[in-house]
Chains A and B, each alone.
Chain A
Amino acid sequence: MIKKIRTVLISKVFQESKNIKTISFNVNSLLKKYSSEYYTPTPGEFLMVWVPGVDEIPISLSNYDESGDWSITIKKVGECTKALFNLQEGDKIGIRGPYGNGFKIPVDCEEKSLIFIFCGCIVIAPLIPLIFKLNKLEKKFIVIEGVKSENEIIFRDYLEEFLIENESLYISTNDGSYGYKGFATNLFNLILEEETKEGNRINHVFSCGPEKMMYELFLICEKKNIPFQTSLERVMRCGFGICGSCVLDPSGIRVCIEGPVFDSKILRTCTDFGKYNRDFSGKKYKI
């Protein structure tokens, strides 16, 4: 892991959609200083990304490979993501991490059992490394991507290449411009019914997306008794568990250490999930 902030050169910028870009950089030279073995992140881990002169924010890794090429995928929303969006190849950003726990892949996946991967909007990014890993482990899975409109669909070519054999990529758009028309949670319910009819057991749901949507999905999974994992987003300063900015009530867990990925067991006890967030003053506000 990269302990201190280290500056890296952006090696590649790829425009995924109108507001979304993937930024790649190589970390090989940084990692060698800490360990002789190649460090492999876990799907779902995040970096603290510093845009010099602007801000430093937590961003999940959207890709990494064995040559040390790492990527982050960002949507232009705030001051820092806007600054990131405007960066070009050859520009410098600071990184440290990866931090957090990452997704846990269940070991007891039987035949005829299914894993769902559910992504809302751009937040598919942290799930891409998970998809790669599941594919490598030859697990059977279904991907549902829910977006507002066709032009927001990202990583489609990527996913289709991976998933076409299983016909396991489902896309929903709110305006019906592509795939299923309506909310992704409704689509999820439909597929769930169908799979159950065919006798497939739903083993696990991995998800990432706007928190309200994730909360809804969590409630569906609770009703159907399906194990669930989701990655949460909170404001962070340190990323390694001392500032307390990302604490969830009432159990006092920190998103940067015990998270950002949480399972059903923890989410059941978390009264903030889907309801409250904190700003930089530590004050809570309704999501």
Chain B
Amino acid sequence: MVESDYQINLKQRYLDHFWKKEELDKSKQKLKKKTDSELLEVNLCNLELESPLILASGILGVSSSLMTKIKKVGAGAVTTKSIGPRPRKGYKNPSIIPIDKKTFLNSIGLANPGIDYFLPEIKKLKQEKVKTIVSVFGNSIESYIEIAIKAQNAGADAIELNISCPHDNISKICQDKQLTYKYVAAVKKELKIPLFVKLSPNVTDICEIALSAEKAGADAVTAINTVNAMAIDIETQRPILSHGSGGLSGKAIHSIAIKKVYDLYKVLDIPIIGCGGIFSWKDVVEFFLAGASAVQIGSAMYQGINIISKINQGIIKFLNENNFESISDLTGIAHNFPMQTDPDF
């Protein structure tokens, strides 16, 4: 059987990984033991984060005061609500509803106060030394660039390009690799700070889109945005959300997100930020094993923002018990195990 490029690439990855592990084992013996909080430190595109946990976009990201609070309970960074060119009230309620245990359906419709109004909030976050990722969307390439630059100048540490909101036209961008390339390349060209691209699971091949973003200069990808979904009230026979359909988040999409991150890790060289249904430290570890270099947490915040510190503690305990020197050592480990490709007959 002739090995495809892809398989060769995969093999190289395994070899690289084991080599790295050997080197690491050697250096481990020389290194002094890290303190607990050092175990959590990650370097994401040259951003030094105290924890791999990042607040996901669209959750609580309206006011700098609340985002500062979230940093104080242990988040490594926060992602703001997606900010567009002008104030937008979004869709009417119901726009976020609980749909099942720990699972939510939303179609907020990119409600946001507009970039000009939001700049002082970014500045305040900067003053409070909160690592801030500003999520950005626009109605043209030019407006994406304009908003990203304004955010950068106000002190944003990174930009997350929202090209994948499932209940807006901008999701057309993430469904087309050429459009993705065009938007990412155009914004990246003008930007000094790292650029993350948020990917949608609602595509035929997420890897194809991600590779396109990588080629266009993306520094990392965030996977995944919410999953297209819908709920209908049987008593009144009508869709519940005012917009009809929306995006599913929380527990129900966790396994979907793990699979996407796992697939992306095989093809990408840039870091992956895992996102989808994180409720405990175990979910974070799982994302890292699948290939994530950091994670975003959103829906679980309904249990209280202190969940972040609980998760951090859980990760530290796991790393100590399993003799890992850093959370980053977990990235991609699940790929070391060859899976059964052909069924038994």
Residues in chain A within 8 A of chain B (CB atoms)? 3-5, 7, 48, 50, 52-53, 55-57, 92, 94, 96, 237-238, 240-245, 247, 249-252, 254, 257, 278-283
| Chain A minimum-CB-distance residue to B67 | A252
| Chain A minimum-CB-distance residue to B100 | A4
Q: Which of B76-125 contact A (CB under 8 A)?
A: 81, 87-90, 92-100, 104, 106, 108, 111-114, 117
What are 19 residue pairs bridging A and B, where the CB atoms are less than 8 Å apart in the complex? A3-B98, A5-B240, A7-B236, A50-B240, A52-B236, A55-B242, A94-B240, A237-B108, A240-B302, A242-B298, A244-B61, A244-B81, A247-B60, A247-B62, A247-B66, A249-B65, A280-B90, A281-B111, A281-B113
- Nearest Cβ in chain B — how far from A233, in angstroms? 15
Contact with A along B128-163 (1 / 0, CB 8 A): 000000000000000000000000000000000000
Whether A282 and B111, one on each chain, are in contact in the complex, defined by CB atoms closer than 8 angstroms, is yes
Q: Provided the pairs A245-B62, A247-B63, A247-B66 are in contact, do residues A238 and B96 lie with their beta carbons within 8 angstroms?
A: yes
Residues of B with C-beta under 8 A to A278: 62
Is B299's beta carbon under 8 Å from chain A?
Answer: yes
New A-B pairs, 19, CB < 8 Å, besides A281-B111, A283-B117:
A4-B98, A4-B100, A52-B233, A55-B93, A56-B92, A56-B242, A242-B60, A243-B106, A243-B108, A244-B63, A245-B111, A247-B60, A247-B62, A252-B68, A279-B89, A281-B87, A281-B89, A281-B113, A282-B111
Residues in chain B within 8 A of chain A (CB atoms)? 59-63, 65-69, 81, 87-90, 92-100, 104, 106, 108, 111-114, 117, 233, 235-236, 238, 240, 242, 298-299, 301-302, 304
Closest 5 A/B residue pairs (Cβ): A252-B66, A56-B93, A252-B65, A7-B235, A280-B89
Residues of A with C-beta under 8 A to B100: 4
Whether A50 and B94, one on each chain, are in contact in the complex, defined by CB atoms closer than 8 angstroms, is yes
**A250, B127: Cα distance in complex, Å:** 14
Whether A249 and B113, one on each chain, are in contact in the complex, defined by CB atoms closer than 8 angstroms, is no
Whether B301 and A242, one on each chain, are in contact in the complex, defined by CB atoms closer than 8 angstroms, is yes
Question: Residue among B61, B104, B240 with the most chain A CB within 10 A?
Answer: B240
**A12, B92: Cα distance in complex, Å:** 27
> Could you tell me the dominant secondary structure of chain A's interface residues?
loop
Whether A56 and B65, one on each chain, are in contact in the complex, defined by CB atoms closer than 8 angstroms, is no
Whether A94 and B62, one on each chain, are in contact in the complex, defined by CB atoms closer than 8 angstroms, is no
Residues of A with C-beta under 8 A to B304: 241, 257
Q: Provided the pairs A240-B98, A243-B60, A244-B60 are in contact, do residues A53 and B238 lie with their beta carbons within 8 angstroms?
A: yes
**A115, B87: Cα distance in complex, Å:** 44
- Nearest Cβ in chain A — how far from B248, in angstroms? 14
| Chain B minimum-CB-distance residue to A57 | B93
Whether B93 and A237, one on each chain, are in contact in the complex, defined by CB atoms closer than 8 angstroms, is yes
Whether A52 and B238, one on each chain, are in contact in the complex, defined by CB atoms closer than 8 angstroms, is yes
Residues of B with C-beta under 8 A to A50: 93-94, 240
Q: Provided the pairs A7-B235, A56-B94, A252-B69 are in contact, do residues A281 and B301 lie with their beta carbons within 8 angstroms?
A: no
| Chain A minimum-CB-distance residue to B97 | A5
Residues of A with C-beta under 8 A to B90: 280-281
- Nearest Cβ in chain B — how far from A256, in angstroms? 10
Residues of B with C-beta under 8 A to A92: 235-236
**A281, B82: Cα distance in complex, Å:** 11
**A240, B304: Cα distance in complex, Å:** 10
Q: Provided the pairs A247-B62, A247-B63, A249-B65 are in contact, do residues A4 and B97 lie with their beta carbons within 8 angstroms?
A: yes
Contact of B66 among A48, A57, A244 (CB under 8 A): A244
- Nearest Cβ in chain B — how far from A263, in angstroms? 19
- Nearest Cβ in chain A — how far from B72, in angstroms? 10
Residues of B with C-beta under 8 A to A244: 59-63, 66, 81
- Nearest Cβ in chain A — how far from B61, in angstroms? 6
- Nearest Cβ in chain B — how far from A250, in angstroms? 5
- Nearest Cβ in chain A — how far from B17, in angstroms? 37
